[in-house]
Amino acid sequence: MHSDITGIILAGGRSTRMGTNKALLPFGNATMIESVAKRMVSLFSEVLLSTNTPEEYAMLSLRTVPDLIDHRGPLAGIHAGLTTAATERIFVLSCDMPMITPDIIEFIISYPTARPIVVARADGFVQQLCGIYSKSILPLVQEIIAARKQSVQKEKMCPVLELVRKAEGEIIDIESHYNGYRAGSFINVNNPDDVERLAALGREAIA
């Protein structure tokens, strides 16, 4: 049980591509967010839920944290988590990543590095919504948000990935470093096709 890291579950998305609240979709014997929350509570002494609709997640009995900056997506959730957490570091996990195991979380936490962000590269992508973020990057978060407010051009880079790169975060090639890595462990659910992909993976809910 980690008391020096705060767990942050991101549940602020609008689920526009899914057409319904993806966090509440069934996964095993529970919902996706209940599965993720159970895992996080087993690992961290304090777990916060980043959401602007706390009434939807009353069943979790978690302290909720609203965005402090509107309309900035998961970057706003990370910003709110870093600002609110009493610990120097937070572990961020999106509510729609139900395949992440406690062992993978522990591997990322224990990876030997002094960098302020630690995330994995897996399945062809940098998995920026599952990893360690440190309070020291808060000024950079605010700088990126301020720049986005002033910009009139669309940028292709995801703001959170921009943060990882500008902070020179540690990006672990987890497929090479984690023994027994299973493809699809970082799958996140954005649309009905992703739900079918979960089923095709033959996943088992972690009780």
> Given this model, what pLDDT does residue 27 score?
82
How is residue 139 written in tokens? 């000024």
Measured distance CA(42)–CA(165) in Å, rounded: 30
CATH T-level fold of 5-200: Spore Coat Polysaccharide Biosynthesis Protein SpsA; Chain A (3.90.550)
Going from the C-alpha of 207 to that of each of 43, 52, 171, 183, the distances in angstroms are 14, 27, 29, 21
By DSSP bridging, strand 47-50 and strand 63-65 are: parallel
Highest-confidence segment of 61-70, 141-150, 183-192: 61-70
pLDDT tier, 150 (very low <50, low <70, confident <90, very high otherwise): low
By DSSP bridging, strand 30-31 and strand 63-65 are: unpaired
Record the pTM: 0.89
Going from the C-alpha of 199 to that of each of 36, 51, 78, the distances in angstroms are 17, 27, 29
Residue with tokens 């023994």: 179
> Count of CB atoms within 10 A of residue 93's CB?
23
By DSSP bridging, strand 30-31 and strand 26-27 are: antiparallel
Mind listing the pLDDT tens digit for each residue in 73-132? Answer: 899 999 999 999 999 999 999 999 988 999 999 999 999 999 999 999 999 999 999 999
> Given this model, what pLDDT does residue 191 score?
66
pLDDT tier, 204 (very low <50, low <70, confident <90, very high otherwise): very low
